[in-house]
Structure 1
Amino acid sequence: MADIPTHHMIYGNLVDYVTGEPLVDTDDERYRQKLARLLVEERGFAKNELEMRRRIETLFAHQFVASKIDIVVSIGEQRVMVLRYGPGSLVTRERAAIAAARVLEEDQMIPLAVVTNGEDGELLNAKTGKVLATGLEAIPTREQIVAMLPDLDFTPVVPQRREPELRILNAFDVEVCCAGGPCALPGAKEG
């Protein structure tokens, strides 16, 4: 076990399936790796179409938050889907995933968002916020997304909606541990 305070069991290190970089081996990271393998081996995406561990940093009301977007899926140069993992309930994670899909890129909305706890999932329309499908089988294949491309809306959020979406991320993604403070371990590649 590592000699740092954490709420995660640390099993050592593992190698990221997509990037090959070493990561801290936790239960959560094992689920993320399982999801990356699912996207490549079962859903037909190439590893170079997956971007791992994107972040959106926000500061509102003296509260700094680094929101994690576990996987961003692209087809060609077009970002088409964000995937956010978190243990527990999916419904509590929907709104933050939608906000992330709306503001991750300034020049486009990412039209699809997936929330998953590694065992279940929901596919969301980022523009409407509606759940399109449920279960891990709801994560579309590359072929399905290619077929959907003509109907997907990539229009960026209007500038006056950007800050409210960032505030939503800030509020939903703040981490407060049982001791009353943030759980973030500066510089640690875990979580």
Structure 2
Amino acid sequence: MVSMTEKKYHHLVYGSLEDCLTGEELLDTDDERIRQFLSRMMLEEKGYLPEQLSPRVSVETFFANLFVRSSIELVVSSAGRDFLIIRYGPGSLVSRERAAIAAARVLNDQYRIPLAMVTNGKEAELLDTITGKVLGDGLDSIPDAVLAERLVPDLTYLPPLKNKQRERELRILNAFDLERCCLS
């Protein structure tokens, strides 16, 4: 029996683990293990420095009496600019594309982040957040730190969305990221 002060989780919890970027103690779940895999890959294989990776960023929305916290596993920067977000979720990638694009369009207050990656831990797609087109398949399509430094100056950074356009993207996040399994 779970006490009133204990938090209920709908994921299997194995204990705790240490975040490879921050050293913070986190719940050890299957999802968190994939998030840690992504962070380690960015550090060890792609050559990013810890300060170029911002983990566990979120966008909060409230529409139709429903509060939703949309998670972005990693925000990746190069040359002082956020250029890529990485979102993880189990299942089909195609069902996650639009929400990732919306998150990249509203996350930064100064500009729209030009690239988004969706992954289920095995498959991945790199997306252009202006057109919505898939630019690459697989985690290998993430540019490494050296390539990113060359690419970032040539990426298109559109100004931030305003008013109705911003609200539209926030509504998309709210609708796509609502955890239906937890609603009572």
- State the alpha-carbon separation in 2 of the partners of residues 69 and 158 from structure 1: 19
Structure-1 separation of matches of 2:62 and 2:142: 32
Which residue number in structure 2 is paired with residue 187 of structure 1? none
Give per-residue Cα distances to partners, 1:105-126, cap 9 Å, x unaligned: 1211111100001111000011
2:108·2:160 contact (CA, 8 Å) conserved in 1? no
Partner in structure 2 of residue 163 of structure 1: 167
**Structure 1 unaligned residues grouped into runs of 5+:** 182-191
Match of 1:111 in 2: 114
Distance in 2 (alpha carbons) for counterparts of 1:158 and 1:73: 20
Q: Secondary structure at the match of 1:81?
A: strand
Structure 1 runs, 4 residues or longer, greater than 6 Å off: none
Q: Is the 8 A contact 2:106 2:169 kept in 1?
A: yes
Query: 1:149, CA displacement in angstroms?
Result: 1.8
Query: Which amino acid is the alignment partner of residue 82 of structure 1?
Result: I
Preserved contact between residue 50 and residue 73 of structure 1 (Cα < 8 Å): yes
- Using the alignment, how far apart are the partners of 1:137 and 1:158 within structure 2? 30
2:26 paired with 1:18: no
Choose which of 100, 103, 115 in structure 2 pairs with 1:100. Answer: 103
Structure 1 residue identity aligned to 2:169: E
Secondary structure of 1:80's counterpart equals strand
| Structure 1 counterpart of 2:10 | 7
Aligned residues between the structures: 179
**C-alpha separation in 1, matches of 2:51 and 2:166:** 28
C-alpha contact (below 8 Å) 1:102/1:156 kept by paired residues: no
Deviations 1:70-104 (A, max 9, x none): 10011142111100011111110000000000000
CA distance in 1, matches of 2:74, 2:49: 13
Cα deviation, residue 5, structure 1: 2.8
Partners of 1:72 and 1:83 within 8 A in 2: yes
Q: Distance in 1 between matches of 2:72 and 2:108?
A: 12
For residue 154 of structure 1, report the CA deviation from its aligned partner.
Answer: 1.1
* Residue 172 (structure 1) aligns with: 176
Q: Secondary structure at the match of 1:8?
A: coil
CA contact (8 A) 1:70 1:84 kept: yes
CA deviation string 1:54-76 (max 9, x = no partner): 11000111111010011001114
What's the CA shift string for 1:12-53, capped at 9, x where partnerless? 000000000000000000000000000010011001110011
Residue of structure 2 in register with 1:36 after alignment: 39
- Letter in structure 2 aligned against 1:173: D
SS of 1:109 mapped into structure 2: coil
Deviation at 1:6, TM superposition (A): 2.2
1:4 offset after TM fit, Å? 4.2
Please, what is the CA RMSD of the aligned residues?
Answer: 1.5
Instruction: Answer whether contact 2:79 2:149 (CA < 8 A) is retained.
Output: no
Q: Which ranges in structure 2 are unaligned for 5 or more consecutive residues?
A: none
Q: What TM-score results when the alignment is normalised by the length of structure 2?
A: 0.92
Matches within 5 A, 1:123-138: 123-138=126-141
Identity %: 52
Residue 121 of structure 1 contacts residue 139 of structure 1 at CA under 8 Å; is this kept in 2?
no
